[in-house]
Amino acid sequence: MANQIGNHSPQTLLIITLISLLSISKSFHETGAQETGKALIESTCKKTEYPEECISALESDPSSFKANLTGLTRIAVQKSESKLVETLNIVTNYVLNSTDYLTWGFLVFCRDSYNASVPQIQEGLQAFDKLEFEKSYRGVEAVNKAVVACDKQGLKMLSQVNSLLFRITKDAMTILDLLF
Ligand SMILES: *[C@@H]1O[C@H](CO)[C@@H](O)[C@H](O)[C@H]1NC(C)=O
Ligand SMILES: *[C@@H]1O[C@H](CO)[C@@H](O)[C@H](O)[C@H]1NC(C)=O
Ligand SMILES: *[C@@H]1O[C@H](CO)[C@@H](O)[C@H](O)[C@H]1NC(C)=O
């Protein structure tokens, strides 16, 4: 019995080769710098642990739709920063409202760790613009570690905001990883 390849004429083989080359070049373009918009947001976020949070964070910034992978990554770092500041404000409000001494102590711990990670993520953004992606990664990672530390305090009123900040920073770290 003749094998499959042996049965094809040279013309057929040429056509098969051309089709393969075309599809390779097509997928190269799709994953490359030229892909932008919703498709790039989705394909990038699909590589993260929390794609839904990733997509909604990126899509909340209209410039995501015309950004390439580098642009999207910067937006992911920016979103980590704005979500951190938002969370810090929420925690600060709880600190001011707290009537129970023990809870107040845990809240102050969280406020201080979030506050301390603000300059770190800001340095991370500056590093990004100098194309120092590993340094930028460490800035986002600092926020992610602050969430983990705060979450250990077991404050129920923070579990939702903490969870979202954890996910957004984790996804930003994954996307940053794609750049280096
Ligand atoms: C990505 O887009 C920026 C402008 O937003 C541009 O400066 C940069 O060269 C682009 N990168 C690639 C790899 O195309
Ligand atoms: C703080 O207390 C005020 C007045 O009791 C209340 O309206 C507000 O919602 C509280 N804020 C938080 C974050 O619990
Ligand atoms: C937050 O951190 C800044 C330094 O980045 C510091 O000046 C400020 O006092 C801190 N705020 C609180 C409430 O700890």
Q: Residue 97: what residue type?
A: N
- 4, part of any domain: no
- Percent of the chain that is helix, strand, coil (3-state, to 5): 80, 0, 20
The structure tokens 């393969």 sit at 20
The whole-number pLDDT of residue 24 equals 46
Range of the domain at 77: 28-177
Ligand nearest to the CA of 33: 1
The whole-number pLDDT of residue 35 equals 66
Q: Residue 93: what residue type?
A: N
From the CA of 92, give the closest atom in ligand 3: 13
Which of 63, 92, 90, 93 has the alpha carbon at shortest distance from 78?
63
From the CA of 116, give the closest atom in ligand 3: 2
Cα–Cα distance, 20 to 98 (Å, whole number): 65
- 108, part of any domain: yes
Instruction: Give residues (CB < 6 A) around ligand 3.
Output: 112, 115, 118-119
pLDDT, tens digit only, all 180 positions of the chain:
445 545 556 565 554 454 454 454 444 444 444 567 999 999 999 999 999 999 999 999 999 999 999 999 999 999 999 999 999 999 999 999 999 999 999 999 999 999 999 999 999 999 999 999 999 999 999 999 999 999 999 999 999 999 999 999 999 999 999 988
Quote the number of domains for the chain: 1
The whole-number pLDDT of residue 36 equals 74
The whole-number pLDDT of residue 55 equals 98
CATH number at residue 117: 1.20.140.40
- 131, part of any domain: yes
Which of 43, 44, 82, 41 has the alpha carbon at shortest distance from 65?
41
From the CA of 90, give the closest atom in ligand 2: 13
The whole-number pLDDT of residue 68 equals 94
Residue to substitute in 115, 122, 143, 150 for testing ligand 3 pocket (most ligand atoms within 8 angstroms of CB): 115
